[in-house]
């Protein structure tokens, strides 16, 4: 190592970075730069990081949150601007950068170019289509106004409404200039739309977004996308009254109606009350005149028709004469009817003698006796026929009854459940059986051994009531012994 190199002062990285930082800040204490905005980054901290560039170089820049909130125009990529600030370094990444305090467009041409590009984009999306526009209500009950509560705009609107047709007005206070203008205006429009009908705060029937005149930079908040999109999506009809007649912003294209001034917006919102009253009065007068003319016309028509009708006396003459004739005939008819009934009554009365009544009663009694005899004969015949049928059925029943079989010396064997025993293998040894005999007599017997193998063995019988007389052994009839 040379002697000259040995004499160079040794520095740490931090010392060298601090020295460079000091040198740059002292040399470029305050600078003003014209450039085009490149990359723009907005972290949650609220600071803005962007690039300043031209056709040959790029300069990193940062704007702190407090400064950004004061800007009327927000940085966007491609916008040509003039920025003012100071140069410094960022030792953590070994780079130099500019801390920007103010930012303004490089003339209205840059803003107009950005506005035109934004307008074409939103128009291509259909936000400005006439089919999206809503009709304004003829006479709104509630009017919502989005504006600054301290400016002359709200006073002009209220004064104009008072002159034309007083309505209930709700003011949503917003900033009409600065960084937060666009966000506050968009939130106000969305807030009015979020109100429920019939709630504690009445929902407006129409919204007016108003601001006085100003430069393009002053009105730039109403050119932001968020404002234009929120206005286009409003369910409540919206009137834009931003600036003077020559001022045009994006909200004017997105709104349902554009008013050249805030006062003109109030005129669009409500009709003139005096004109309405005059119109109603005029319509009422015309209605009365029309009704009067109709009545007069009807009267004239009735009078014309009346002249063609015959007189009342002529119309009633023939019916009256007919009525008189009928009245005379009615009196004669009543007398003839009475005489006819009187003659008929005399004839009937002459026939009502005791002898005739007696003969009539005898005839009726004779007829009753004849009917009674015929009925008695028919009943006896039916009874004899039914008795013969019943007796035949009884004989058939006795022939088919098991009692007749029991009388011939057979017995009916029943198990403990009272069911007939048909097979020897249906009982077991020790089962108690009942032997049903003729004349409702029975015996109780217990099986010594059951089954088909021991069917020849006798079962011990037990009398159920009194022991019957031991019958004589029957002759050998080929049936074998049961007991």
Distance (Å, whole) CA 327 – CA 300 = 42
CATH code at position 212: 3.40.50.261
- 300 domain residue, yes or no: yes
Return the ∠ at Cα 356 (arms to 355 and 357), rounded to 5°.
90
User: CB-hemisphere CA count at 13 Å for 63?
Assistant: 24
Please determine, for residue 179, whether its predicted confidence score (pLDDT) is greater than 80: no
Q: Which two tokens stand for residue 346?
A: 């005399």
Mean pLDDT value across residues 192-202 = 90
Please determine, for residue 349, whether its predicted confidence score (pLDDT) is greater than 50: yes
Query: What is the tens place of the pLDDT at every residue in 253-272?
Result: 999 999 999 999 999 999 99
| Percent share of the chain, pLDDT over 70 | 90
Mean pLDDT value across residues 167-194 = 91
- 285 domain residue, yes or no: yes
Same domain, 145 and 199: yes
Query: What is the tens place of the pLDDT at every residue in 379-415?
Result: 999 999 999 999 999 888 877 777 777 877 788 888 8
Distance (Å, whole) CA 145 – CA 206 = 9
Same domain, 240 and 294: no
Same domain, 150 and 218: yes
297 three-class SS = helix
Distance (Å, whole) CA 241 – CA 261 = 5
In terms of C-beta density within 10 A (0-12 exposed, 13-18 middle, 19 or more buried), how is residue 35 classed?
A: buried
Q: How far is CA 378 from the centre of its chain?
A: 79
**Number of domains composing the chain:** 4
Q: List phi, psi (to 5°) of 457.
A: -75, 145
- 8 domain residue, yes or no: no
Same domain, 190 and 310: no
- 377 domain residue, yes or no: no
62, 41 Cβ separation under 8 angstroms: no
DSSP 3-state percent helix, strand, coil across the chain (nearest 5): 50, 20, 35
Mean pLDDT value across residues 25-32 = 82
Same domain, 265 and 187: yes
Same domain, 199 and 180: yes
User: CB-hemisphere CA count at 13 Å for 424?
Assistant: 14
Print the domain residue range for 453: 405-463
Distance (Å, whole) CA 46 – CA 65 = 5
Same domain, 164 and 80: no
Distance (Å, whole) CA 33 – CA 54 = 11
- 152 domain residue, yes or no: yes
Return the ∠ at Cα 456 (arms to 453 and 460), rounded to 5°.
115
Please determine, for residue 480, whether its predicted confidence score (pLDDT) is greater than 50: no
**Among 73, 21, 54, 95, which Cα is nearest to 63's?**
73
4 vs 70, more confident: 70
481 vs 8, more confident: 8
Residue 462: the pLDDT is: 45
CATH code at position 26: 2.40.50.140
- 476 domain residue, yes or no: no
Q: Which two tokens stand for residue 461?
A: 């019988």
Residue 193: the pLDDT is: 94
- 55 domain residue, yes or no: yes
Under 8 Å CB-to-CB from 108, ≥6 apart: which residues?
A: 216
Residue 258: the pLDDT is: 92
Distance from first CA to last CA of the chain, Å, rounded?
150
DSSP letter for 420, please: B
414 three-class SS = strand
Residue 479: the pLDDT is: 44
Same domain, 20 and 102: yes
Same domain, 289 and 205: no
Return the ∠ at Cα 266 (arms to 260 and 272), rounded to 5°.
120
Same domain, 150 and 63: no
- 310 domain residue, yes or no: yes
Please determine, for residue 62, whether its predicted confidence score (pLDDT) is greater than 80: yes
Same domain, 206 and 228: yes
pTM of the model: 0.47
Question: With the C-alpha atoms ordered 305, 311, 317, 320, is the resulting torsion angle positive or negative?
Answer: positive
Query: What is the tens place of the pLDDT at every residue in 421-473?
Result: 888 888 888 889 898 888 888 889 888 865 444 333 344 444 444 445 555 55
Residue that terminates a domain, selected from 61, 84, 106: 106
Please determine, for residue 352, whether its predicted confidence score (pLDDT) is greater than 80: no
Distance (Å, whole) CA 35 – CA 51 = 9
Same domain, 45 and 165: no
Residue that terminates a domain, selected from 293, 309, 328: 328
Residue 463: the pLDDT is: 46
């Amino acid at each position: 190592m040379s002697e000259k190199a040995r004499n160079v002062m040794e520095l740490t990285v931090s010392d060298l970075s601090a020295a460079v930082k000091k040198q740059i800040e002292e040399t470029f204490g305050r600078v003003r730069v014209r450039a085009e905005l490149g990359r723009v980054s907005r972290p949650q901290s609220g600071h803005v990081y962007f690039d300043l560039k031209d056709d040959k170089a790029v300069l990193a820049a940062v704007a702190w949150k407090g400064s950004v909130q004061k800007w009327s125009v927000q940085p966007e990529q491609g916008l040509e601007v003039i920025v003012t600030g100071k140069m410094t370094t960022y030792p953590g990444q070994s780079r130099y950068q500019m801390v920007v305090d103010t930012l303004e467009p490089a003339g209205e041409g840059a803003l107009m170019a950005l506005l035109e590009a934004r307008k074409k984009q939103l128009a291509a999306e259909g936000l400005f289509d006439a089919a999206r526009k809503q009709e304004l209500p003829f006479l709104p009950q509630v009017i919502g106004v989005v504006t600054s509560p301290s400016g002359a705009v709200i006073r002009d609107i209220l004064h104009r409404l008072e002159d034309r047709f007083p309505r209930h007005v709700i003011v949503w206070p917003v900033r009409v200039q600065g960084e937060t203008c666009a966000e506050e205006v968009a939130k106000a429009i969305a807030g009015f739309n979020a109100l429920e009908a019939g709630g504690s705060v009445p929902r407006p029937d129409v919204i007016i977004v108003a601001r006085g005149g100003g430069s393009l930079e002053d009105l730039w908040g109403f050119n932001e996308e968020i404002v234009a999109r929120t206005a286009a999506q409003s369910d409540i009809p919206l009137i834009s009254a931003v600036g003077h007649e020559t001022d045009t912003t994006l909200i004017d294209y997105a709104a349902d109606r554009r008013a050249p001034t805030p006062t003109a917006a109030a005129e669009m919102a409500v009709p003139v009350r005096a004109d309405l009253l005059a119109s109603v009065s005029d319509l009422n007068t015309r209605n009365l005149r029309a009704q009067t003319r109709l009545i007069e016309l009807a009267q004239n028509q009735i009078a014309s028709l009346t002249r063609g009708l015959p007189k009342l006396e002529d119309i009633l003459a023939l019916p009256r004469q007919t009525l008189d004739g009928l009245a005379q005939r009615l009196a004669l008819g009543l007398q003839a009817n009475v005489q006819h009934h009187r003659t008929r009554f005399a004839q009937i009365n002459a026939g009502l003698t005791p002898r005739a009544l007696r003969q009539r009663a005898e005839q009726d009694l004779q007829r009753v006796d004849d009917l009674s005899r015929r009925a008695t004969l028919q009943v006896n015949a039916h009874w004899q026929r039914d008795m013969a049928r019943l007796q035949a059925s009884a004989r058939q029943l006795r022939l088919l009854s098991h009692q007749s079989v029991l009388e011939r010396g057979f017995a009916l064997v029943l198990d403990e459940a009272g069911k007939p025993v048909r097979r020897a293998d249906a009982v077991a040894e020790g089962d108690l059986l009942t032997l049903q005999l003729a004349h409702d007599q029975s015996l109780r017997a217990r099986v010594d051994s059951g089954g088909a193998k021991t069917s020849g063995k006798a079962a011990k019988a037990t009398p159920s009531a009194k022991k019957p007389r031991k019958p004589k052994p029957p002759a050998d009839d080929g049936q074998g012994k049961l007991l």
